[in-house]
Structure 1
Amino acid sequence: MQISDFAPLIVVRDVAQSVGFYRRLGFHPTVQWPTYAKLTAGAKVLHLASPGDPPPDRPDLALRAPEGTSPTVTAALVLQVEDCRRACADLVAAGIALLTTPAAPAWGGEVRAFVRDPDGHLIEINEVTSPT
């Protein structure tokens, strides 16, 4: 299989609220319905969907939003930016709380900080400082 691109879908409890949050991160809605939205940032796409029961094409899989803000996550959205510190200052000015301040991890090569969306999805704001 040769993959040409991919676009994550995340489950959110309130699509309109989440669209507002992701707009503050720099995403732009191209489709918005009460239970679904398609957002773009550059050439990348992020899908938002309301929780729902299994549809006929996947009868054993229901869509569910995260429960609360557990310290355990199964995935994170990593958003690449040119300047993590400046991006985080802009987020704070837009009313978005940082989970961590921008910092370089022990292995170096990047500066990153973390936020959560209204449903608790983890989002990493990442600046590459040296190519790998």
Structure 2
Amino acid sequence: MADFPTEGMELTRLLVVSDLARSRAWYEDVLGAEVERAYEGACVLRLLGAWLLLVTAGGPTPDKPTVAFEPPGDPDRVSAETIFRVPDCRGAYRTLRERGASFLAPPLDRGREIRAFFRDPDGHLFEISELTR
């Protein structure tokens, strides 16, 4: 019986996007992701040592017969987000804004952390967070 998790495993985050070329450019230009490979309907990115897979919408397949992939329908209703722990939230905020990130609000000091939220072109939510204590 194989262990789980075990040595040699990696985690990939999949995001469904509406326009693959637009999203690929945003992830490269704004977040600094590197394209590992791209093929029809998908793009594999490397970001901070992790894998990010961008895919376009699609219907059920034999191995997921009841599941359809769609980009977020309402960006104000979120079931998952991606968080970047940063050493300087305000500095990261300035850099990301200069690169084209659209933030929901400026960084907010919540006592134990300073954080700010932004979205990709399809509305996937991202957070930058700095621990202050």
> Structure 1 length as normaliser, TM-score?
0.86
* Count of residues paired in the alignment: 127
- Tell me which residue corresponds to 2:27: 22
- Tell me which residue corresponds to 1:74: 79
How far does residue 127 in structure 1 lie from its aligned partner after superposition? 2.0
Show CA shifts across 1:45-71 (max 9, x none): 1111100011221111111111243x2
**Percent identical:** 36
- Tell me which residue corresponds to 1:7: 12
Distance in 1 between residues matched to 2:66 and 2:47, nearest whole Å: 32
Structure 1: segments with no counterpart, 5+ residues = none
Q: Deviation above 6 Å: which 4+ runs of structure 1?
A: none
Q: Does the CA contact (< 8 Å) of 1:8 and 1:47 recur in 2? A: yes
Distance in 1 between residues matched to 2:62 and 2:42, nearest whole Å: 18
> Structure 2 length as normaliser, TM-score?
0.85
What is the root-mean-square deviation of aligned Cα atoms in Å?
Answer: 1.6
How far does residue 35 in structure 1 lie from its aligned partner after superposition? 0.9
Select which of 46, 60, 78 maps to 2:52: 46
How far does residue 112 in structure 1 lie from its aligned partner after superposition? 1.1
Secondary structure in structure 1 of the residue aligned to 2:78: coil
- Tell me which residue corresponds to 1:55: 61
More strand by share: 2
Show CA shifts across 1:28-56 (max 9, x none): 11112341011111211111110001122
